[in-house]
């Protein structure tokens, strides 16, 4: 017997879904559907994270290039973080420039010029995650 003929026989014989089966399907669907929507919304909220990271990297690199395009003597040492104008709503950009020694470039030192400056640019993204970039510069002529 073909599938089409069997389907026709079921329809004509009155076989089909009962009211109990239909209500059971609606109840089960009512339980599964909200759970799947919650999972979908959670995934979609994380979808923008790579976009934030790309923008944060761009904003860090942009400020780093602005700072390091100057001659060594023109780059002023800051006593702490300098908060700049936000490049875009939700993003915050700050930077710090300090003297470091060649033996310990991770540690800022105060006092006299050590011939090395460490520049750190930090961008806080709208989801409050942080992206930062650091570089060392030394005395060199302006290019």
Would you say the pTM of this structure is higher than 0.85?
Answer: no
- Which pLDDT does position 7 carry in this prediction? 60
Mean pLDDT to the nearest integer, 6-30: 77
| Tens digit of each residue's pLDDT (9 = 90 or more) over 91-142 | 999 999 999 988 888 888 888 888 899 999 999 998 888 999 999 998 765 5
**What pLDDT is stored for residue 2 in this prediction?**
66
Each residue of 37-94: pLDDT tens digit?
A: 888 887 776 666 678 888 999 999 999 999 989 888 888 998 788 998 888 888 999 9
The CATH fold assigned to 49-138 is: 3.30.1300
* Residue ranges of domains in the chain: 49-138
Three-state SS annotation for the chain:
CCHHHHHHHHHHHCCCCCHHHHHHHHHHHHHHHHHHHHHHHHHHHHCCHHHHHHHHHHHHHHHHHHHHCCCHHHCCCCCCCEECCCCCCCCEEEEEEEEECCCCCCCEECCCCCCEEEEEEEEECCCCCEEEEEEEEECCCCC
Whole-number pLDDT of residue 40: 81
What pLDDT is attached to residue 11? 57
């Amino acid at each position: 017997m073909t599938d089409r003929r069997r389907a026709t026989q079921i329809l004509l014989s009155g076989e089909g879904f009962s009211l109990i089966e239909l209500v059971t399907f609606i109840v089960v669907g009512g339980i599964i559907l909200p759970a799947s929507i919650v999972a979908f919304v959670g995934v979609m909220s994380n979808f923008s994270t790579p976009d934030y990271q790309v923008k944060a990297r761009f904003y860090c690199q942009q400020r780093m290039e602005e700072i390091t395009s100057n001659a060594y003597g023109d780059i002023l040492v800051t006593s702490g973080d300098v908060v700049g104008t936000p490049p875009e709503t939700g993003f915050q950009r700050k930077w710090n420039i300090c003297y470091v020694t060649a033996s310990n470039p991770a540690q800022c030192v105060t006092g006299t010029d050590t011939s090395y400056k460490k520049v750190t640019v930090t961008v806080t993204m709208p989801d409050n995650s942080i992206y930062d970039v650091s570089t060392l510069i030394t005395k060199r002529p302006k290019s």
